[in-house]
Structure formats: C-alpha cells, structure tokens
Amino acid sequence: MPQPKIILPVPRARISLTFLLACLMTFLMSSILFAQPTENLELARRAATAEPPEGQSASNLKVSVGAGIMTAPEFEGAKKNELKALPVVELSYDRVFFSLSKGLGVRIIDNEAWTISPSLRYWAGRDEDASDRLRGLGDVDAALALGGMISYHPGDLSLFLNGYHGLGSEEGFTVELGAALSRQLMEKLNFTAELSTLFADEDYNQKFFGVTRQQAARSGYDFYQADAGFKHVALGGTLSYNLTQSINLGLFGEYKRLTGPAADSPIVERGSKNQVSSGLMIGFNLK
C-alpha cells in the first residue's frame, strides 16, 4: 500500500522574507553594474513590459526582464550623445516590488484610484572619465535614497509625486511631479506619454552642476554655487508591441530641458540645456 505524501505548508512570511532578500541582493548588484538615469530606466521599463506607470499589485510572483540600447547624453548637460546598454529587471509579489527604476518598496495603499509606495531607490553617480568635459570635476558617488511615490490614476491618466532623500553622507533631496497618459492604440500596441518636472535642493544640484574653487582650478570652469530649484522639465513617451503573450518590443524617447540652477551652470553652458534620449527595448514576462 503506497505511503501517503505529507506536504508541509511553507509559511508566507518566510516566502516574503526570501523574496525581499533576493530583491535586495539584485538591487545592490544592479546599482554597481548599471549607473543609468532613473527616468531613462523607467521609460525603458514601460517599453519592455508594456505596462502603464502604475497598476494594482499582482497576487502571484511576477518577473520581467529585458534589455536594449539607447542613445543619450554622455552626462546630464552634455552636448554629445553616446550609445549605452540599458537593462530592465522587475519583480513583484503581492504588494512588494523591485525594479531598477523604482527601487525596492511596498505598496501600502494600492487600489483603482491611489497607489502609495515607500521605497529605497538608487541614485546614479557620475564618472569623471565619462567625458573630456568632466575632467577636473572629480567623480560623483552613486547613492541610495529613501522616500516614496504617491500616484492618483483615474482611468488612463496617472498623476504622481515622488520624493527622495539621500542616505548616509550622500545628502540631497528631490521631488518629482508629473502626469502620464496610457492608451491602447490598437490590439497589442500600447502608448504612454509623460510630462514631468523635478525640483532638487542645493546639495543635490551642487553635486552635479556646481563648481567648487578647487574644481575650477583643475577644470577651467568658472566657480559656481548651485542653488535649490527646478532642475528640469521633461516630455517622454513609449510605444510597446506585444509580439507574443510573453515577449514585448518597445521604443521610447524623451526630451529634457534643463532649467534653473542646472541651466545656469558653466558645465551646461559649455554643453547643452537640451537633452534628448531614445532607445529600443525587448522584454520578457517570465511569470
């Protein structure tokens, strides 16, 4: 007579903890490997996954990965563009989520109208060797930032407010305000357009656009003390085509106009206030 099989239930708390630890490890590895601007990563995520800016939580584990290539400025404020590789990694289980653009967080409120998500996000740094225009300015270290995202999404429209503060010695505070519209143009073809602006405090703007007296002596730029203010206004969009149930092809593009203390920086004056990025993505929905 065959012995009955005994199946022990796995506590949900243990599954959630394992998932969180896996996300954190992936987050730290991705932070080291992929130093890309957050806004480009978010546009790439939408293009590769065919998903709108916000949506309700999935009760089951969902995994999406993707890759692509984009053309973008050498650094924020540069005149010259270069080709860059762009990754997409996104995981979600119940209310917990992780992505390269949104970081690691939990949707504490998630319904048809509102989403509120505290999260830990990665702020990309800047390498002095990325361009001849940066010689003498030194590196800007990457950092982790803690904050949250609030969005109101009635129908196809999403209004959002994101605020983050750097952790540890990496000071700085940013607030992003914007609106996104998502539409299905035809079967399998989805479109998203977004208009946003970002406010940054003095510490954040000084790191990327200020020039200290020591930096001025090494680089040839004039001394410049960056103040707090609205750093940019951006208009972006994505097109995503569902090639199969699991594979998406996508295009994205963004025009960003540097404003305020960023536009007045001598680094930008020798470069360009107009920043244009575009890319081609392929994404795979594994679950």
Which CATH number is correct for 12-285, 2.40.160.40, 3.40.50.2300, 3.40.1280.10, 3.40.190.150? 2.40.160.40
Mention every residue, 6+ apart, whose C-beta is less than 8 A from residue 96.
Answer: 16, 19, 20, 23, 105, 106, 107
Which of residues 100 and 18 earns the better pLDDT score? Answer: 100
Burial of residue 145 (CB within 10 Å: 0-12, 13-18, 19+) is buried
Contact criterion met (CB below 8 Å) for 47 and 70: no
Contact criterion met (CB below 8 Å) for 154 and 113: yes
Q: Which sequence spans correspond to the domains of the chain?
A: 12-285
Q: What is the pLDDT of residues 190-205, one digit of tens each?
A: 999 999 999 999 999 9
The C-alpha angle with vertex 283 and arms to 105 and 145, in degrees rounded to 5, equals: 25
List the helix and strand counts (H, then E) for the chain: 6, 13
pLDDT at 9 exceeding the cut of 70: no
Which of residues 17 and 205 earns the better pLDDT score? Answer: 205
Residue 40: pLDDT band (50, 70, 90) is confident
Mention every residue, 6+ apart, whose C-beta is less than 8 A from residue 100.
Answer: 30, 34, 36, 41, 45, 87, 88, 89, 90, 122
pTM over 0.75: yes
Residue 49: pLDDT band (50, 70, 90) is confident
Residue 33: pLDDT band (50, 70, 90) is very low
